[in-house]
Structures are given as structure tokens and as C-alpha cells.
Structure 1
Amino acid sequence: MDAASNPQNLTTSDLDVAAAVCINVAFLARNFYNLTTLDVIYTLAQFYLDNPNATNPEILRFTGARAADLDYLQNFVGGPDMIRDSIYWVAQISEYLPSTPGTGHILIPIFWVFSILTTFVLALRLWSRQTIAGGIMGYDWLIVVGYIMTLGYGSTALYHAMNINKTSQFWDYSWNEITLQQIFYITLDVLYPCTALVIKSSLLLFYYNLSPVRYLKWSVWGTFAFTLSTVIAAVGFSVFKCHPVNYWSEWFTSVCNTHQTIPYLVTGSCMILSDIIIWVMPLPMVFRLQLYRRERIAAIFTFSLGIFACIASGFRLSALHKYFLTSGGTGKTPIINAWTIVELNLAIICASAPALRALCIKHVPKLLSYGSGPSTPSVNERHNLNNVSGNQKVHGRIIVHHDHIGRMDLGSLQDSYSEKASNMSSSRSTPRVGSPV
């Protein structure tokens, strides 16, 4: 506390000590839970000036503190004189303590832009599934649940940023506000991994139904087990990192994990790893399909869009790391929430890309044309193979896109091909899904 002699040159350590004194003294003074922690310091500093020989019973009556809390704090800091000196020191340097507004305003455009964009994309996805894929499937409803949870996370984070996190320093909060902050922290910590699990489960279920290949199904189950384990670990640590869970009610006697950075970084890294696995998983299947080069590139690009969600997840983890390393009494929670909102919304948007691609093939085929000739969109129903929605004729041949082929279509494909082959002088190879026949 040497800064008292030259308080305008406060170091980061000085600011950390000032924040700790404000928080601990504010918790002790239960009669003043509605005052900012710095105002509590002023109040107690004046009390000690008026009562230099104040006894513990007098301190308890004035502050409303519990006897056990006062004894604990005195023993921890080295006696009642040290508490009084700490209060004097903070009061002396208070005019030099930084007071900056919160950064919650950054969430406003991010929340609204991504919420509107995701709502539009999800609506197109459901329309595509209903009109092209034969109906909305279970994994589509699952992504709707993830969308609702994403809106819930964004709304909670926005409310927290605009109505609670109004400043960046602890000495500008009352103890009641600090308590509310902690409740929001735990809520958002639990909501994020659960929302990510629902979105990833939707994608995994889509992959499971996409191909009968055994290795893909086993990969889906393995990835789901890994993701579920990571989420359980993340939620469990967030909730039970302190005992009791509502540690803000027992600030002095509660027991908390002193190495919280490592578990958060480990679970966050595992979440990113599961992201990468999920977005890479269908690519080997795409490479095995016999497609035109342009169609193969389009399919790979469609499934690879999830890399943007992985990048956002990486930025979120970096912000989380910086938050735990942040000092000087300043927090950066809105930055973490901003990247979380971006990550969850991008995951939903990227997961909807295959459905949007199918919609473009049907309604705007020229945007996704494959082949050397002009495309002629079909006007008949999808179940008529020779007039599949979005098919193209190139030099008299039908190009069937794998997006539109269902199991019933394969039989029709074979019958149609056999009939044509019987009238040709030379034999041809077996037709390929997604290639000219």
C-alpha cells in the first residue's frame, strides 16, 4: 500500500488490493448492501474517525455484520487495526480509482443482427425441408430448440450487460448488484454448453440419417458421447466450483476452487475440438461421391461453413482466458458474451446451409449450375425422376443432384437407366448419384 504517498501512480496490484478491500468490507457491512462498495468504505472510514476506539460490538451494531464474519476477516487480514488501515487507504486513493462505463453496449448490434439473420435462415431451412425434403425431421425440430435457447442466452446476456453490468469496476457496484452479477454468471455458464449441445446433437442426428455407412454412424455416437461428457463437466464445474453454490451469501466461509482458469480452458478447448470433428465428419462421405468437380466443391464448401463457428469459438475461448487474467478491478464479461452469441448463431446458420443449398438449386438453379450447358429447371413433382426439382439437362442428359435423391428415387433411377440402355448399341456403366446418366 505504498501508493498512499503518491496515489496518482497506482499500480495494477494496488487496484487489485483496492477491489478486494471494497468487496470484503461491503460483504461485512450488511446494513449497507444497497450502497456502492466505495460508499461503504467512505461510511466506515467516517465511523472509525468518529470512533477511533470502537469495539467489536459497536462495529457489529453499526455495520449489521455477523460476529463470525467480523472475526474471520480480522484474523485473515491481521487484526482490527489492519481492517481500519485498509479502509483509510482506499478512502485516500479513491479519487484516483478508475471508473469506466461498462462495455455492454457492444452486445446490442451483435444480438439484433444475428438474431434477425438466424431467424431468417432458420425459416428458410424449415421451408426447404417442408417443400423439398418431404417434411420437417426430428433434427430440424432439435435445431429449433437450439435457436430458442440461443435467443434465451442472448437476451439474458443483453439484459445483464445493459441493466446490471453498467460499469467495469467492482468499487462502483453495491453488494446486491455483485450478488446479482454472480447469479447471471452461473446462469450463462450453464446455458452456453447446454445450447451448444442441442445444436451439435441436431447436426449429429442429421449425419446419422444421412448415410448408412457404419463408420459414420459410429463416429456420430462417439462424437456425441465426447460432446455430452464435455458439457456435463463444464456445467458441473460451473455450478459446483464453490461450496455452497450460492457462495455470495457466505463470502468469507465459502470454499471455491482456486484454479478456475484451467478447467474453463480445458472444457472450452474440448468444445472447440468437438466442433471441428462435427464439421469435418461428413467430408469423407462427400469425397466418396462421384460428382462433377464444381458440384463436389459446392458440397465441400456447404459442409465446411462450420469452420466459421469454430473460429468464433476460438475467439470466445481467448476472451475467456483474458477475462481470468484481467486485473485492476476490471471485468470483461460482455466481450465473452458477445463471442458466445456469435458462435451459437453461426452454428445454427452453418448447420442450415445444406437445406438452403437445396432451396437455391430448386428456385435459383443458375446460381448452382453444374455442367457446360444451360440449365432447364423442372416443373413437375420431385418424385418424377426425370423431372426432379432443380435437375439440369446438359446435351440431352439429366444431371441429378444428390441433394434431391431419396431412397425411393434410386429404384426409379435404375429402371429408367435400364430402359434407356436397352435401346443403345453400346453398354454404359452403372449410373452414379450426382453424375450425368
Structure 2
Amino acid sequence: MSPPLNLTKGDLDLAASITINLGFLARNFYDSKTIDVVSAFSTFFNTTPNATDSELLSFSGARPNDLNILLEMLGDRDLLRDSILWLDAIAEYLPRTPGGAHLLIPVFTVFTVLTSIVLALRLWSRQTIAGGVRGYDWIMVFGYFMTLVYGSSALYHSININTASQFWSYSWNEIALQQMFYIYLDILYPIAALIIKSSLLLFYYSIFTNRYLRWSVWATFGFTLATTITIILYSIFKCHPVNYWSEWYTSTCDPHQKIPYLVTGSLLIFSDVVIWVLPLPMVMKLQLYRRERIAAVFTFSLGIFACIASIFRLQAVYKFFLTSAGTGRTPVINTWTIVELNLAIICASAPALRALCIRHAPKLLSYGSNSTDSSSRSNNSSGGGGMQNDRNIRKNTRSVHGRVIVHHDQMRPADHDLASLRSGISRTGSGWSDVEKSVHYSSTSRIGSPV
């Protein structure tokens, strides 16, 4: 029989099924690639066409019950032999694509360096500007280390375990190790996401004074915690026994795993959006100049980028369950997970970075621009009258949250005087309320979903 040059999807599905089942059956070959096991069985059947059960068990090392189950699944021994001979004939035409290390290594490296720098700047900003590092900052540091653990585990999996994308390129021991890592990463991801979200929600709780908003924080945390626990429990107990790869024929798994993963992933994205939106009504009520209000809303809204990464991750999970022919998509899922978790930390630290810019590099945010100098020159050129006018305006103003606000019954000063006033206002945060400090010094973001 001449082997086909173009294999169909059905051919590849069948090839994957044969390699998986034969790989588990042949306990004498657990360290050999499953496609090599197929070749060994093909040779055995060619030399022993009428092999008995005892000869087949002796050659493969299979347990009698496992062989009986496989033969019942196939219908007869002839079909087993024909399937193995067919797969051995087309083995050279099976696709063999590399794993995802080439994709994961640069993503992990870049985001680890970037997130480390951002988190260090955040802590520096808290310590030097906001009056000290708070509890929710340390929780975020813990979230960073959990993100690092996830990324390192995924990278190890990609380099040392997931070296190829098809089952026939692995031994059964390698396949079993992959299944173990899947459960481990399934559990690690929602835990890391929950820690990061907890940091954000604790921060919100510390600055919210409205009872309704505080209850919203508790409700969001409870919803996120319940979803996370559901994901963890499902990941562990979706199959019985938990280490189903050790009892491949007798284990039972949920045949509809895609649905729970997509539902829980969508729920986590929903909680991401809620956490992103939660502080915006508070920010809109702050007494800020229009430009600063827009900047504050934009700073708190950066979490939308992490939300987008979460959506792409969920799409990768969906494609993973649609993928067939023994080709896995786990490296793609791990890559989007690393992007999502790191973006969540980076976006959460944006307000603290903004505070550093205001303090140490105001021109980056158009604070202390050349308009100050031009205003000063204008005041000087107008003589003592300009300076007297400035003193009168300052005398007739009051401080609200550390900002100079002109009384409602006073005339609006000239533009050059107002520019001079604003340029002289200290933005170090002294005298600000906790809510207003939060816009300049604090954190936000979101994250979400399962693998």
C-alpha cells in the first residue's frame, strides 16, 4: 500500500488516538516515543501474525485487563493489528512541529524585566511620596512572585516537557508528566489572579468611604473568590482518579470540559471589568482640573489592557479544546496568561508611576511647562501691579484638598495670573485626602480566567 502524501484531519485524529492508547498499553515501552512503539508493534505483528494474548502481553508488558478493555473498544484483534500497520506505514508523513518555547521565552523575559522595574518604582513611589508602603502593596508583591512562579513553571514546561506539539512525538512518561503540569498550571493561574485582584480590592476598600461602594468591594471579592475556588476544584476533580493518566482505560473524565472552562473564564473576565469600573465614579467626583480628571480616569482605566489580554487567553483556551490530531495549544495559553498577569500588575502600578513623574519629571505630564516661565516674565513686565494682583488673588482663595480654588464670589483672574497660580501649587500630596491621593499614588487593574 502506498502511503498517502496528504493526510486528512480524520487521519490525524485516528493517528493520535492509536498512539495514545498503544502508548499506555505498552508498559515495556513507557520511555520510548509512542510512534516508535507503533513501529515495534508493527514488527511484532509482521513476525508473529497469529500472536496469542499471552505473547502480546509478554511483548508489550500490558496488564491483562488493559488489553481486554482495548480489544473491547476496537471490536477484535485484527482491527488492532491493521491500525498499527496502517499508522506505521504513514509515520514518515505525520506532522512534527516544535513546542512553544520560541514564543514563550521572549514574552516571559520581556515582561519579567518590565514588571520588576515597574513594581520597584511603585514601591519607591509609595515610600517616598505616599507616606509608606501599605498592606495592599505587599499583597501585590506576593502576586508578582506568584506570577513569576507561574511564568517559570510554564517556561520549564515549554523547554523541557512540551518540546513538540503532537502526541506521537512523546513517550508515555512524557505525556503523563504533561498531564500533571496541566493540573498544576490550572491551579496556579487562578490563585495568582486572585492575589492581584485582592490587592486592588483592598486598596479600594481603604479609600472608599461610601457604604455602598464598600459593600460592592466585598461583593466583588466574594464573587471572585467563589469563581476561583470553583476553577481549582474542577481542575483537580474533573477526572477520577485525579491522576487519570495512570489508569487511562478505567478512568472517567468530564466529556464536556470545554463548557466549564469557558464559563468560569467568562466569569473571571466579568469580575475584571467590575474591578476596572469600580473606582471610576469616585474619581469623577474629585475636585480636579479637567485635564487632571481626564488623566486620572485614563490612569485607572489602563486595566482595560489586561482585560483584553484575558479575552485573548480565553480565546486560546477555546481553540485548545477545538484542536485535534494530537496537536496541543498549551504554550499559546501559557503565553497569554503570562501577558495577562503581568499587564495586571503594570496597570495597577500606573498611578504610583504617575506620582513619580509629577514629583521628579513634571514636564513628562506637562506640569511645570514653559508656560510658567512665560507667566513669570509677563508678571515681571507688568511691574508691581501684577505682583500686587497675584497677592490679592492668593489672599482671596481657600485650600480644598491641598489645591488652591478661587472663591465662587471672586472675579476670575487673568489667564497669565491663573497659570502662575497653578504652577506654584505643590503636588506632593500634603494635605490631600486619601481619596485624592489614590488618584496620584495608588494602584488599579484587573485580571482573569482558567487553563
TM bucket (normalised to shorter chain) is: 0.7 to 0.9
Percent sequence identity over matched residues? 63
The Cα shift of 1:400 comes to 6.1
The TM-score, its normalising length taken from structure 2, stands at 0.84
Aligned-residue offset at 1:371: 9.3
Q: Deviations over 1:3-54 (max 9, x none)?
A: x765223110110110010010010000000100000001011111111111
In 2, are the aligned partners of 1:294 and 1:370 still within 8 Å (CA)? no
Name which of 413, 420, 434 aligns with 1:395. 420
Q: 1:255 aligns with which of 252, 255, 258?
A: 252
Q: Deviations over 1:196-238 (max 9, x none)?
A: 0000000000111012111211111011011111111111111
Alignment of 1:3-402 (within 5 A): 7-369=4-366, 374=372, 394-396=419-421, 399=425
Deviation of 1:365 (Å): 2.3
C-alpha separation between the residues in 2 aligned to 1:390 and 1:49?
89
Distance 1:90 1:239 in 2: 34
Report if the CA contact (8 A) 2:166-2:327 is conserved.
yes
Residue 429 of structure 1 aligns with which residue? none
Which amino acid counterpart does residue 12 of structure 2 have in structure 1?
Answer: L
The Cα RMSD (Å) is 2.6
Between the aligned partners of 1:72 and 1:143, the Cα distance in structure 2 is 51
CA distance in 1, matches of 2:402, 2:433: 16
Q: CA separation in 1, counterparts of 2:300 and 2:274?
A: 12
| Residues 408/214 of structure 1: CA separation in 2 closer, same or farther (3 Å cut) | closer
Is the alpha carbon distance of 1:43 and 1:391 closer, same or farther for their aligned partners in structure 2, counting shifts above 3 Å?
farther
Report deviation, 1:374: 2.3
Letter in structure 1 aligned against 2:20: I
Aligned counterparts of 2:20 and 2:434: Cα–Cα separation in 1:
68
- Using CA pairs below 8 Å that are at least 6 residues apart, which structure has the higher relative contact order? 2
Deviations 1:124-172 (A, max 9, x none): 0111111111111110000001000000011111111111111111101
The answer as to whether partners of 2:99 and 2:158 remain within 8 angstroms in 1 is yes
Is the Cα contact below 8 Å between 2:402 and 2:431 reproduced in 1?
no
Contact 1:358/1:404, CA 8 A, preserved across alignment? no
Q: Which moved more, 1:389-398 or 1:222-231?
A: 389-398
Q: Number of paired residues? A: 400
Query: How does the TM-score come out when normalised to structure 1?
Result: 0.86
CA contact (8 A) 1:44 1:87 kept: yes
Which SS does the other structure have where 2:327 is aligned?
Answer: coil
Cα distance change, pair 5–237 in 1 and its aligned pair in 2 (3 A): farther
Any gaps of 5 or more consecutive residues in structure 2? 376-397, 406-417, 441-451
Determine the C-alpha separation between the residues in 2 that align with 1:390 and 1:250: 69
SS of 1:168's equivalent?
coil
Residues 53 and 218 of structure 1: CA distance in aligned 2, closer, same or farther (over 3 Å): same
